[in-house]
Chains A and B, each alone.
Chain A
Amino acid sequence: MTAPGRPARRGGFRALVGTFLGYAVLVFFALVFLYPFVIQTANSFKTEADAAAHPLSPVPDPFTTAAFTRIFDSTAFPLWIGNSILVTLLITVGRVFLDSLAGYALARLSFRGRGAVTAMIVAVMAVPGVVLLIPKFLVLNQLGIYNTYPALVLPLLVDAAGVFIMRQFFLSVPPSLEEAARMDGAGVFRTYWSIILPMARPALITLTILSFQASWNEFPHTVVAVQSPQLFTLPRGIANLVSGSLGAGTQYPLKLGAALLATIPVAIIFVVFQRYFVRGAAEGASKE
């Protein structure tokens, strides 16, 4: 990666200026990209008066957890978290299993219509999500599951991009092991489950993390799938908190605190599994 001889060529005053400018740009943009989160965290521990008077300050004065007490006592936050965990768990498990199942079949099993199904998966990936808001509502309504947990979970249980990622992975796995298992008389599902799936661990981890992140943050779907506050997930609940009855008042420590609590799980996963996010972003882009 490092070009030999390069550091030697860069020397003297100009290189020093270049290095300095490089770090200046990096630090400036690191502040631009991260300081809003610092402000968010700091202000959720402030009093309302302090937040209004010193919004930029990273130090709450006085320090108070009153906003968080109120989040849990006077909003439906615990309910939203419960719904979010349930929905995220179901969607993630469903996606990892069903996407890999379909991806495996499309990569390895020969059956009539495989080409057509692959084409459909690719075509569906190109459908922009936002134009499907009304259409999705129509189907959920027609199926009689509008405003239920199944409406939150079922439509998101499979994602085309995930199927495609798994298919690409399985195409790259050498078929010899699988054939050996078949020779030994293992059935198709058994071969998939105990030979192929364990080998797919890297792809499965990527898919798990992407599914978790996407379903934890999912917002537009919840807007058209459910109506009852009993079924709100975190993003929906927070959106309601902001634009609803509390929207008129400021109450920024409360709102920022709620948004902070919703961000923390994804932030932890991101810091721990950063490279899977990078890979996912890249694969999501290359699908086009």
Chain B
Amino acid sequence: MTEPAVRRRRSGIQGNEAAAGWLFVAPAVLILGLFLVLPIGMALWVSVSGWNGQGSPFAPGVPFVGAQNYTELFLAEGLTRENFMISIRNNLYYVAVAVPAQTLLALALALVVNQRFLKGTSFFRTAFYFPSVTSSVAISVVFLFLFANSGAVNALLALVGISGPAWFADPRGLLHLVLGGLGLVDVDNPPAALTGGGPFGLSWWEWLAGPSVAMSTIIMLVVWTTSGTFMLIFLAALQDVPVQVEEASLIDGANAWQRLRHVTLPMLKPALFLVITLGLIGTWQVFDQIYVMSQGKPANTTLTPAYLSYRTAFTDFEYGVGAAISFVLFLIIVVMTLVQRWVMRDRDEVRPRRRWWPRRGGAS
């Protein structure tokens, strides 16, 4: 980074420059350190303490409880573990549905918007991206109305003769509904083999609930707001596919599907990995929508670890447990990020780093 030649030439103002450099970065370092780095250390302490929110967590009277807050989440029987495991189950289903859905939708939109024989695609690109830039709170209000009992979605369903559910009040799991619909199990009277036991205090039957009807509205909302951003990432990658490659495959007589499968998709791999891991990181952090739309209701089926950590700390005043949940969540996300880094580094060796943004005007 520092070139000795430059350093020697500028030796006269070297000290001056060093001082200015530190002065310039000082505000940024101070604020990021104070509000991003230091908090992590403080929360680590709180997560192993029995602090109740009164006074300072560093006051002498605050007890050190070791791993107790963590064992309550994973090992000790009780409401704390039950709620935490339910939130983990909910979020696992949420991730399993939302990430593939938003990735596929974004990819499909990018492929269509990228077609050169279609006119006006820049308008459509803007339209698809618009929900991504608006306020998550405002959007949640709109979705509350869309999925209300007398809302637009049920009005739409009524047009085709379907009586829509009371979306936000319906705690039934989709997987349960499917299993019941197929006649495999009696939902009201689940088989004893499944209700008997299961890992972490939840029965297998509970683990196998699937996302609830209420949760699926939040999944739809999130897919709707994130697809636009991910579409742009795919679009940028698509525009980096050299025209000659496509033409060569065209001359070779490949049909549209073969071109997509064997030419375009392999070149989109880095973008695909990026979108999937950004999706994995994002879906574990869902908070705003839960806060505004459901607050975990009905029957805890929209409870997620992010919201649970907030609720545990700020409504139940169990700061230690809340901080412990934050750290578990932090670890989950760090693992996702590391997986992404590892995968991306692997790809970078094959292919030089590319720009992710579309060339100006290139998309139209």
By a beta-carbon cutoff of 8 Å, the part of chain A in contact with chain B is: 1-3, 6-7, 9-10, 15, 18-19, 22-23, 25-26, 29-30, 32-34, 36-37, 39-40, 43, 51-56, 98-99, 101-102, 104-106, 109-115, 117, 120-121, 124, 126-139, 142-143, 154-155, 157-158, 160, 163, 182, 187-189, 192, 213, 216-217, 219-220, 223-224, 234-236, 238-239, 242-243, 250, 252, 255-256, 258-260, 262-263, 266-267, 270-271, 274-275, 277-279, 281-283, 285-286, 288
Contacts and interface: CB of A to CB of B under 8 A. Distances in A.
B39 A136 contact: yes
Contact of A135 (B43, B135, B243): B43
B91 to A, nearest CB: 12
A131 B25 CA distance: 26
Nearest to A102: B28
B67 interface: no
Contacts of B337: 126, 288
B275 to A, nearest CB: 8
A224 B310 CA distance: 9
Interface string B281-296: 1001101100110010
Interface residues of B, number: 116
B102 to A, nearest CB: 13
Contacts of A115: 1
B113 to A, nearest CB: 7
Contact of A255 (B1, B141, B250): B141
Contact of A277 (B24, B35, B40, B129): B129
Interface in B295-345: 295, 306, 309-310, 313-314, 319, 322-323, 326-327, 329-330, 333-334, 337, 340-341, 344
A92 to B, nearest CB: 15
Nearest to A115: B1
A282 B117 contact: no
Contacts of A128: 281, 284-285, 329-330, 333
A242 B247 CA distance: 54
Nearest to B359: A1
A131 B327 contact: yes
Interface of B: 1-2, 6-7, 13-14, 16-22, 24-25, 27-29, 31-40, 42-43, 46, 56-58, 108-109, 112-113, 115-118, 121, 124, 126-146, 148, 150-152, 155-156, 224, 228-229, 232-233, 236, 243, 246-247, 250, 274, 277-278, 281, 284-285, 287-288, 291-292, 295, 306, 309-310, 313-314, 319, 322-323, 326-327, 329-330, 333-334, 337, 340-341, 344, 355-358, 360, 362
A139 B131 contact: no
Contact of B138 (A235, A252, A274): A235
Nearest to A280: B357
B24 A18 contact: no
